[in-house]
């Protein structure tokens, strides 16, 4: 039997845990046999003294095996999924999941809600009237078999130890470490049963990782750990120094997603969706060549095949398919333009501030109990590098009620200076699966 | 209001807490407003990143003010107390408390139970039939006024935050740090209302501090923190590389204490008792000169004044005074000599092993629920530096039932070699109050 005090002493002194001890510790916590106060002391010791790769693997395995692990192999098709570390305006999942499914690869996507200043796929989907994000395992299986895609929330039996551990990390200031973040993400993705994983590691002032170095390090660790747990994996480090696309806010992002599914929409949203879809198709073995895979993904958007799959999924999950497809979602009562105070070039956007503002006007949660207003948000009308004249609108706020301070904070988030500035790259780095290269 | 997460982040990053923040954190924990899991993460962060002197003071104040703080000034006499960091055979408190009281200084002594391999004053006192270690504050006051001495356990209202914090340190492997140990000791001693404090920091293989350097550092911190909290203080670092005196075990130690109170008993017990009593008399202002104070203490033993005070205290606290004074306490059914396997000089004693053995044969507790057998223990017949012949007894075990392994372990604790070895010094270092020198 594991002695929790000796285990704590080991990490306190900077030693490395035996994988079986670490698994036993986390499993015992999940079962309620080790109390929170011993685990939180371990979290702090690990935060300060580190976990190496073998410990990160062991932690991932312990979280994974704390609950149900899905397996879709009997459905006879490859499966894949994507995970984003979270940003502002990132609606890629809504487009990519039906797109990849329409190309013959199963997408058993388990998503989360908004965290901090970022949006969450579940919150966006729930702005479609009637859409259910809780399905039984049986319903997931039959929908996957019929449509190739399902988009649901994390049920209580999927990596339950992770939920327990995350809640403890949140309240003990032990969140920001790769070796805690990676097991939390990878365990849930492996538990979903996806055989191939594409990671989108956001980088910039609207992301949790602010430097390309930190983001690339996290991307490598996500790929390596996923592979050691038995999945194929690759990652892209992508820019989050301005919102992705134009729409920020739940219903607004669904509407923009449908535009992209119709072959239109903002160029950056389409570009990132195609890139990540191509990675998934390639990793899943549906198409070995990346350029060819991109071409297939592109055709799925332009032909309406991806939109058709999206519509069927909405319908199957109880949502109002016509309202979603025809963008007839409830809108905010107030639409207020935010104008540029001076002329010049847009040289920067405080993306965190914009994400946080959308949460603040009701588009997200400050605490678990908060209700989300799907109608509110903003449209970001100008991009970094654009020339702007004083008085021109840079954004449009969608509000539930008048809010002068929101207007002023939005205005201040756009940095306009009298100098030239290029548009930033969208894809900053690629991490390919070790088994691929 | 304090944000516990920001507070944790501060220590995680090695920064120094504002004293008011640290006090607020500990007070909130004591009230139940901050959960154990946040405090245990803080304990680990502090264990690894340290607390400085201002933080140690703040922690001491927070523990102190979590409960009742006694004040005996209206009784019109100076007060003093002694604290030992714990050893094997250390029965000094039982002699010193009535001794100092018989010299006109109030001794409001709050003691603890055995911890780990060490004995506890409360357990020893309870080997006297009827002796009560729980008194109401009113009973403490009237007994102090009448007899000058009271010896009790820590009531639930004396520094309750310390008990809560200690329990958490124990289960999270965050015990061994001066800046946790000092506030725990000093807060309780100040809360007792003693105006002068003598610390006996044990050092050696039977103590928690094994090197003179570590023990002296702890002694300095105890004295400085006590002074900053408003008490006069001094410390002695004393040898614990062999048990103090001959008797180890609860009833055996009471009997030896009475021998010393009668002017006899082992020389080292008498010597250390006189030294610490003199420190208390001096710090309390009863006698400015150390040598004169020692002389007064010595006379209190030889005249029977200290014994008289001891007897009255036992009586006042419900104990069988005659049984205590006449050493008619229940004895163990088995008394087994442990003999030297070879001839030579006693060059070392595994004091930890002996203390642990006495706990193991029933003289202490492995867990909180264990019952203590007051009868068991051992008499340590030879001291380091003594010449011994093979077959001579080195110890006498007092057992409740036959125990061959205890015999063998006792024998192995005495290291006999064929070389000369001097007797160790009893008092290794002195730390005087800064206001004294």
What DSSP assignment string belongs to A136-153? -HHHHHHHHHHHSEEEEE
Contacts of B42 in chain A (CB under 8 A): 44
Q: Do B39 and A44 touch (CB under 8 A)?
A: no
Query: Of the candidates B5, B375, B307, B46, which has an alpha carbon nearest to the alpha carbon of residue B183?
Result: B46
Give the SS3 label for residue A154: coil
Q: Among the options B84, B184, B187, B277, which is catalytic?
A: B184
CB-based contacts of A386, cutoff 8 Å, min separation 6: A345, A346
Q: Do B12 and A37 touch (CB under 8 A)?
A: no
Contact B40, A41 (CB under 8 A): yes
Residue of chain A nearest B3, judged by CA positions:
A171
Main-chain phi, psi angles of B167, to 5 degrees? -60, -40
B54 touches chain A (CB under 8 A): no
Main-chain phi, psi angles of A290, to 5 degrees? -60, -45
**Pick among B3, B35, B44, B367 to test the A interface (most A CBs inside 10 A):** B44
B4 touches chain A (CB under 8 A): yes
Query: Of the candidates A50, A44, A63, which has an alpha carbon nearest to the alpha carbon of residue A172?
Result: A44
Contact A39, B40 (CB under 8 A): no
Whole-number Å distance between alpha carbons of B188 and B156: 12
Whole-number Å distance between alpha carbons of A133 and A322: 18
Query: Cα–Cα–Cα angle for A101, A103, A104, nearest 5°?
Result: 70
Task: Please tell me which of the candidates B4, B47, B172 has its beta carbon nearest to residue A37.
Answer: B172
B298 touches chain A (CB under 8 A): no
B12 touches chain A (CB under 8 A): yes
Q: Among the options B169, B189, B375, B398, which is catalytic?
A: B169
Q: How far is A362 from chain B (nearest CA, A)?
A: 24
Whole-number Å distance between alpha carbons of B64 and B162: 8
**Pick among B41, B42, B49, B167 to test the A interface (most A CBs inside 10 A):** B41
Reply yes or no on whether B370 is catalytic: no
Contacts of B37 in chain A (CB under 8 A): 35-37, 39-40, 168, 171-172
Contacts of B168 in chain A (CB under 8 A): 37
Q: How far is B180 from chain A (nearest CA, A)?
A: 16
Reply yes or no on whether B189 is catalytic: no
Query: Cα–Cα–Cα angle for A147, A149, A154, nearest 5°?
Result: 140
Torsion of CA A248, A251, A252, A256, to 10 degrees: 110
Residue of chain A nearest B44, judged by CA positions:
A41
Strands, sheet with B196-203, edge to edge from the N-terminal-most edge strand? B80-84, B196-203, B232-239, B427-431
Count the helix, strand and coil residues of chain A and give each as a percent rounded to the nearest 5. 45, 15, 40
B48 touches chain A (CB under 8 A): yes
Q: Do B40 and A45 touch (CB under 8 A)?
A: no
Main-chain phi, psi angles of A98, to 5 degrees? -65, -30
A38 touches chain B (CB under 8 A): yes
Whole-number Å distance between alpha carbons of A97 and B194: 72
Residue of chain A nearest B176, judged by CA positions:
A9
Element of type H or E holding A399: strand A393-399
Contact B273, B147 (CB under 8 A): no
CB-based contacts of A332, cutoff 8 Å, min separation 6: A373, A375, A376, A377, A398, A399, A400
Mutual orientation of helices B305-316 and B290-302 as an angle, nearest 10°? Answer: 70
What DSSP assignment string belongs to B388-436? E-TTSEEEEEEESS--HHHHHHHHHHEEEESS--PPPPSEEEEE--TTT
Contacts of A164 in chain B (CB under 8 A): none
**Pick among A15, A41, A48 to test the B interface (most B CBs inside 10 A):** A41
Contact A158, A191 (CB under 8 A): yes
Query: Of the candidates A29, A312, A298, A261, which has an alpha carbon nearest to the alpha carbon of residue A151?
Result: A312
A8 touches chain B (CB under 8 A): yes
β-bridge partners, A235: A199, A431
Q: Report how far apart, in Å, the C-alpha atoms of B226 and of each of A312, B27, B87, B219 are.
A: 74, 20, 22, 11
Radius of gyration of chain A (CA): 22
**Pick among A43, A44, A170, A367 to test the B interface (most B CBs inside 10 A):** A44
Whole-number Å distance between alpha carbons of A168 and A55: 19
Contact B209, B221 (CB under 8 A): no
Count the helix, strand and coil residues of chain B and give each as a percent rounded to the nearest 5. 45, 15, 40
Whole-number Å distance between alpha carbons of B81 and B95: 12
Strands, sheet with A80-84, edge to edge from the N-terminal-most edge strand? A80-84, A196-203, A232-239, A427-431
How do the pLDDT tens digits run along chain A, 437 residues long?
889 999 999 999 999 999 999 999 999 999 999 999 999 999 999 999 999 999 999 999 999 999 999 999 999 999 999 999 999 999 999 999 999 999 999 999 999 888 788 889 999 999 999 999 999 999 999 999 999 999 999 888 899 999 899 889 989 999 889 999 999 999 999 999 999 999 999 999 999 999 999 999 999 999 999 999 999 999 999 999 999 999 999 999 999 999 999 999 999 999 999 999 999 999 999 999 999 999 999 999 999 999 999 999 999 999 999 999 998 999 999 999 999 999 999 999 999 999 999 999 999 988 777 889 999 999 999 999 999 999 999 999 999 999 999 999 999 999 999 999 999 999 999 999 765 44
Inter-chain Cβ pairs, chain A and chain B, closer than 8 A: 81
Q: Among the options B11, B83, B117, B270, which is catalytic?
A: B83
pLDDT means per 10 residues, chain B with 437 residues, are 93 97 95 95 98 97 95 96 96 98 97 85 96 95 98 90 91 92 95 96 95 96 96 97 98 98 97 98 96 98 98 98 93 96 97 96 85 96 97 97 96 96 95 68
Q: Do A173 and B41 touch (CB under 8 A)?
A: yes
CB-based contacts of B167, cutoff 8 Å, min separation 6: none
Q: How far is A173 from chain B (nearest CA, A)?
A: 5
Long-range contacts made by residues B258-262, C-beta under 8 angstroms, separation at least 24?
Answer: B258/B307, B258/B310, B258/B324, B258/B325, B258/B327, B259/B327, B260/B95, B260/B301, B261/B95, B261/B98, B261/B99, B261/B301, B261/B306, B261/B307, B261/B310, B262/B301, B262/B304, B262/B307
Q: Report how far apart, in Å, the C-alpha atoms of B56 and of each of B19, B153, B235, B236, B400 are.
A: 9, 25, 18, 21, 44
Burial class (CB in 10 A: 0-12, 13-18, 19+), A342: exposed
**Predicted model pTM:** 0.86
What DSSP assignment string belongs to A203-271? ESTTSSB-SHHHHHHHHHHHHHHHHHTT-EEEEEEEE-SS-SSSEESHHHHHHHHHHHHTT-S-HHHHH
Looking at residue A437, what is its pLDDT? 43
Main-chain phi, psi angles of B160, to 5 degrees? -60, -30
Contact A95, A273 (CB under 8 A): yes
Q: How far is A50 from chain B (nearest CA, A)?
A: 13
Give the SS3 label for residue B193: coil
Looking at residue A48, what is its pLDDT? 98
Burial class (CB in 10 A: 0-12, 13-18, 19+), A119: buried
Looking at residue B435, what is its pLDDT? 56
Task: Count Cα atoms within 13 angstroms, Cβ side, for A394.
Answer: 34
Contact B421, B345 (CB under 8 A): yes
Q: Do A173 and B40 touch (CB under 8 A)?
A: no
Reply yes or no on whether B5 is catalytic: no
Q: Which of residues 159-188 of A touch B (CB under 8 A)?
A: 168, 171-174
Contacts of B33 in chain A (CB under 8 A): none
Reply yes or no on whether B83 is catalytic: yes
């Amino acid at each position: 039997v594991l002695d929790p005090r000796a285990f704590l002493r080991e990490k306190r002194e900077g030693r490395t845990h035996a994988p079986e001890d670490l698994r036993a510790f986390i499993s015992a916590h999940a079962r309620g046999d080790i109390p929170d106060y011993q685990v939180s002391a371990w979290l702090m010791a690990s935060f300060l003294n580190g976990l190496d790769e073998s410990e990160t693997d062991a932690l991932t395995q312990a979280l994974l095996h704390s609950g149900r692990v899905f397996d879709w192999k009997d459905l006879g098709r490859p499966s894949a999924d994507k995970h984003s570390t979270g940003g502002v305006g990132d609606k890629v999942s809504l487009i990519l999941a039906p797109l990849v499914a329409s190309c013959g690869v199963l997408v058993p996507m388990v998503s989360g809600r908004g965290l901090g200043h970022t949006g969450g796929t579940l919150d966006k989907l729930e702005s479609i009237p009637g859409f259910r994000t809780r399905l039984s395992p049986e319903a997931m299986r039959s929908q996957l078999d019929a449509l190739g895609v399902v988009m649901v929330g994390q049920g209580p039996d999927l990596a339950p130890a992770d939920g327990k551990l995350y809640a403890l990390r949140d309240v003990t200031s032990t969140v920001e470490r790769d070796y805690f973040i990676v097991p939390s993400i990878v365990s849930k993705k492996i538990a979903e049963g996806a055989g191939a994983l594409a990671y989108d590691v956001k980088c910039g002032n609207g992301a949790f990782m602010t430097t390309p170095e930190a983001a690339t390090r996290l991307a490598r660790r996500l790929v390596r750990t996923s592979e050691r747990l038995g999945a194929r994996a690759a990652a892209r480090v992508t820019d989050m120094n301005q919102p992705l696309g134009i729409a920020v806010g739940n219903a607004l992002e669904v509407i923009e997603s449908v535009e992209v599914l119709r072959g239109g929409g903002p160029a950056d949203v389409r570009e990132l969706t195609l890139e990540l879809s191509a990675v998934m198709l390639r990793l899943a073995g549906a198409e070995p060549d990346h350029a060819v895979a991109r071409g297939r993904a592109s055709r799925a958007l332009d032909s309406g095949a991806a939109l058709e799959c999206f519509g069927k999924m909405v319908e199957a999950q109880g949502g109002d398919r016509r309202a979603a497809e025809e963008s007839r979602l409830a809108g905010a009562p107030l639409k207020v333009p935010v104008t540029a105070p001076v002329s010049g070039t847009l040289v920067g956007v405080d993306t965190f501030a914009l994400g946080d503002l959308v949460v603040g006007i009701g588009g997200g949660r400050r605490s678990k109990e908060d209700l989300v207003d799907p109608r509110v948000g903003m449209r970001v009308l100008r991009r970094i590098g654009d020339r702007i004249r004083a008085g021109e609108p840079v954004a449009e706020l969608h509000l539930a009620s008048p809010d002068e301070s929101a207007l002023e904070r939005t205005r201040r988030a756009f940095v306009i200076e009298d100098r030239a500035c290029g548009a930033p790259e969208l894809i900053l780095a690629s991490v390919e699966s070790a088994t691929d290269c």
